[in-house]
Structure 1
């Protein structure tokens, strides 16, 4: 019956999994991700030795850890990208429940490492940030609920996903972590829009977000301090934003030269949240433009492939993952150039951070799996009444 409706599908019997994966995966996206990780290592050699020296560690301690965690992240991405969407969905829902429990227990068992926000579990040899792992798993779970709601006699998936989103945002706001809260809301709103949400409803939700921001400003010193710093016409040159702004300005078009930058000696987060400032100062606009281009290719290539996908679950989850990936990069760079308030958000695959790298590996692995070429997986083929690989 399937062949009568969609046409015959070529199946290569007995094809090994690696050749099949290589034939169907988006090689442009994969190449961009590997390139971003390579740039992150390059910048780590410049940005991390001053911090290692201040902490009494080997000069390349943080670079070695970044290489290790990055290798794990790329391996995880490749393994996950070989899985079927059905298998990914099962594991993602299970992982989401575990991550949500870990997030809920943070106020009781977590630590802030002196940064004013309880976001991490300290494991002694490393730290663990559950919100990083929660994001991609939440997106897949929310997409599954929305897709299930579109089926005949299906559950109220959109309503359930909205309630789940509100609960997650509340937990993140209590840390406080308003940057991750905004990213979760953005991912849900993007998927809801793709699923066919009316603009009036989205406008109402946007209004609720604005009201929530006003409430947070008046009731959270952490949030108010960051907003006041962003709105201030003058930037204190001794703050992280001041150092980053000056470094970007000094870099110019070609940068001051490899190893010649000064911002890494002043910024405590030069290897994480403000890594783009190191790139701009030492390599100039040339490297920054390349980084932006790599992120853009990942997002655009993924969305082009997802437009042709007819499975609602894959289309929604892939769109949420691609857009949140691009927006996280945009937020990180926007903070460095003072277009956005400080958020404490890493630059995907470039910034240092074990949790961030591995969680991003999971996210990209899922995205690569959902954008692989599959038999009968495109709307155009359905309209033409035939399928092909």
Structure 2
């Protein structure tokens, strides 16, 4: 009856995979992701050369590695974006289990690379950060629990997801990795809200987070130093924040010119945590606004598609993935312009890092798969636009 009134949805189960994928994928979001990676490669040509020279490597050593890791991440993203929501859930659950077990094993097999926090596992030829791969799987598992709670006589999925979140947040805070812990907690709170849960537990979670931050400030010299530096009226020009702030001011609207920036020679993390400072100095506010616009395209397009999604799991998981992606970018850029305390978080698809770009590819692959146009979503959109009788 629906087809007689509104017409058939242009989706045939017998279609080849690639044409069906191309017809249903969010092309704007997909294009924005590839553009972000292109911007990251462009900035890497400038930001990573000083580090390569310092380490006695060829000038474009890190650029080549980023191209390799980025290629893997984009291939993984496209492959995962072809999956159905059911397949996304299965892959996400398995991936989460592996990442969670690896995270719990960090005190035994992990390393800190002299940075004071045991966050990485070294493979000799490369290293990876389990918490990066934990995030997309965590969103999928939490969404699965919350969606199950909406079923008749379903399990207490929201409670299970809260217990899981608390365990992960405490584990990350003990590393210490307060940036990733905050992002995990925020993602859970967003999904909890979208699942239709009462507001009181969210207020309680916010209060516990504030209490945890207060304890961390009083018990961790590392956290206290970063917060005090953030709250200080004056910025020490010899710190990373000082160099980044000066670079952004020097760049102005159009930048000092390609390759003419100096901050990349002063900042040890210019190619990772403070890549936006390099962009602002050499290319100016114009490029920074362009980067922000690309992130906004991915997040807003995904959220707009989630509004028409009728599957609870897909709606909750898609919203969580979109917010996690956007908030991570917001935190990275907020730190660079001194709107937030330093957290050591990469800019997805733009900063250098194998773990970051591959994990981002997994997360965006899940997101693109969940935001693909499906028959029931198209029918819901048509019904929603139908004029009132």
Greater Cα shift, 118-127 or 215-224: 215-224
3-state SS, counterpart of residue 48 of structure 2:
helix
Q: How does 1:331-350 map to 2 (within 5 A)?
A: 331-350=331-350
TM-score (norm 2): 0.96
The one-character-per-residue Cα deviations of 1:345-366 (angstroms, maximum 9, x if unpaired) are 0000000000000000000000
3-state SS, counterpart of residue 268 of structure 2:
coil
TM-score (norm 1): 0.96
Give the equivalent residue in structure 1 for 2:201: 201
Give the equivalent residue in structure 1 for 2:314: 314
**Maintained 8 Å contact 1:311/1:377:** no
The one-character-per-residue Cα deviations of 1:137-186 (angstroms, maximum 9, x if unpaired) are 10011000000011001100000000000000011001000000000000
The one-character-per-residue Cα deviations of 1:18-53 (angstroms, maximum 9, x if unpaired) are 011000000000000000000000000010111000
Unmatched 5+ stretches in structure 2: none
Give the equivalent residue in structure 1 for 2:102: 102
The offset of 1:11, in angstroms, is: 4.7
Give the equivalent residue in structure 2 for 1:372: 372
- Measure the CA separation in 2 of the matches of 1:177 and 1:306: 30
Give the equivalent residue in structure 1 for 2:240: 240
Q: How does 1:173-192 map to 2 (within 5 A)?
A: 173-192=173-192
> How many residues in Structure 1 have an aligned counterpart in Structure 2?
386
**Maintained 8 Å contact 1:273/1:332:** yes
Give the equivalent residue in structure 2 for 1:215: 215
**Maintained 8 Å contact 1:254/1:284:** yes
Give the equivalent residue in structure 1 for 2:12: 12
Aligned alpha-carbon RMSD (Å): 2.0
The one-character-per-residue Cα deviations of 1:242-279 (angstroms, maximum 9, x if unpaired) are 10000000000000000000000000000000000000
Give the equivalent residue in structure 2 for 1:323: 323
The offset of 1:383, in angstroms, is: 5.3
- Measure the CA separation in 1 of the matches of 2:360 and 2:208: 29
Give the equivalent residue in structure 2 for 1:264: 264
3-state SS, counterpart of residue 118 of structure 1:
coil
Segments ≥4 residues shifted beyond 6 Å: 1-4
**Maintained 8 Å contact 2:119/2:129:** yes
Alignment of 1:286 onto 2:286: yes
- Measure the CA separation in 1 of the matches of 2:144 and 2:378: 19
Q: 1:156 to 1:255 in 2, by over 3 A?
A: same
Give the equivalent residue in structure 2 for 1:275: 275
**Maintained 8 Å contact 1:310/1:379:** no
- Measure the CA separation in 1 of the matches of 2:9 and 2:35: 35
- Measure the CA separation in 1 of the matches of 2:213 and 2:46: 37
The offset of 1:382, in angstroms, is: 8.8
The offset of 1:125, in angstroms, is: 0.8
Q: 1:379 to 1:219 in 2, by over 3 A?
A: farther
Give the equivalent residue in structure 2 for 1:113: 113
Q: How does 1:76-155 map to 2 (within 5 A)?
A: 76-155=76-155
